[in-house]
Amino acid sequence: MGIVVNVDVMMARRKMSLTELAEKVDITMANLSILKTGKAKAIRFSTLEAICAALDCQPGDILEYVPDVAEPVPA
């Protein structure tokens, strides 16, 4: 899995819509959608800072590391 983006979870907790967050962070809906769906390859510190400020949370609340699960070896 690697890095999982939990922006939608934080948005639900703060009861904030995608449009509202996009306005507060000053990024386009398209870019926010790329971030939300996990298609983004990288995130700038400035964007992360703006999202954390808008959602009043820590970077760890938005980004999560999930290790890849290795397939069990058949006996």
Residue 18 exposed, middle or buried by CB count within 10 Å (0-12, 13-18, 19+): middle
Nearest CB to another protein, comparing residues 15 and 39: 39
Site for another protein, residues 24 to 53, rule: CB under 8 A: 27, 31-32, 34-35, 39-44, 47
DSSP string, 43-68: --HHHHHHHHHHHT--HHHHEEEEPP
Q: Does residue number 10 form part of the binding site for another protein (CB under 8 A)? A: no
- Minimal distance, residue 65 CB to another protein, in Å: 18
Q: Which residues bind another protein (CB under 8 A)?
A: 27, 31-32, 34-35, 39-44, 47
